[in-house]
Amino acid sequence: MEIKKVGVVGCGLMGSGIVEVCAKAGYEVVVSEINDEFLQKGLGRLNKSLSRAVSKGKATQEEMEAALARVKGTTDTADFAPCDLVIEAAIENMELKKQIFAELDGILRPEVIIGSNTSSLCITEMASATQRDDKVLGIHFFNPVPVMPLLELVRTILTDDETLAIAQEFGQSVGKTTVVARDTPGFIVNRLLIPYLLDAVKIYEDGLATREDIDTAIKLGLNHPMGPLTLLDLVGLDTTLFIADAMFEELKDPRYAAPPLLRRMVLAGHLGRKSGKGFYDYSR
* DSSP string of 238-254, one letter each residue: HHHHHHHHHHHHHH--G
Q: What is the DSSP letter of 135?
A: G
Determine the residue type at 247. Answer: M
Domains of the chain, by residue range, sit at 5-182, 190-275
- Choose, from 16, 28, 140, 275, the residue flagged as catalytic: 140
- Choose, from 88, 117, 152, 270, the residue flagged as catalytic: 152
CB 140 within 8 A of CB 112: no
pLDDT band at 167 (very low <50, low <70, confident <90, very high): very high
pTM of the model: 0.92
- Per residue in 91-142, pLDDT tens? 999 999 999 999 999 999 999 999 999 998 999 999 999 999 999 999 999 9
Which residues, in sequence order, are bridge partners of residue 150? 177
Of the candidates 106, 129, 42, 131, the one whose C-alpha atom is nearest the C-alpha of residue 116 is 129
Mean pLDDT of the region 43-49: 96
pLDDT band at 181 (very low <50, low <70, confident <90, very high): very high
* Residue 119 annotated to the active site: yes
Task: Specify whether domain 190-275 bears CATH 3.40.50.720.
Answer: no
Q: What is the pLDDT of residue 282?
A: 95
- Per residue in 233-250, pLDDT tens? 999 999 999 999 999 999
- Per residue in 95-107, pLDDT tens? 999 999 999 999 9
* Residue 140 annotated to the active site: yes
Mean pLDDT of the region 8-14: 96
Mean pLDDT of the region 81-86: 98
- Choose, from 16, 117, 190, 275, the residue flagged as catalytic: 190
Q: What is the pLDDT of residue 99?
A: 98
Task: Specify whether domain 5-182 bears CATH 3.40.50.720.
Answer: yes
Q: What is the pLDDT of residue 267?
A: 98
- Choose, from 119, 120, 270, 275, the residue flagged as catalytic: 119
Of the candidates 129, 126, 118, the one whose C-alpha atom is nearest the C-alpha of residue 89 is 118
Q: What is the pLDDT of residue 284?
A: 78
Q: What is the pLDDT of residue 49?
A: 96
Q: What is the pLDDT of residue 1?
A: 76
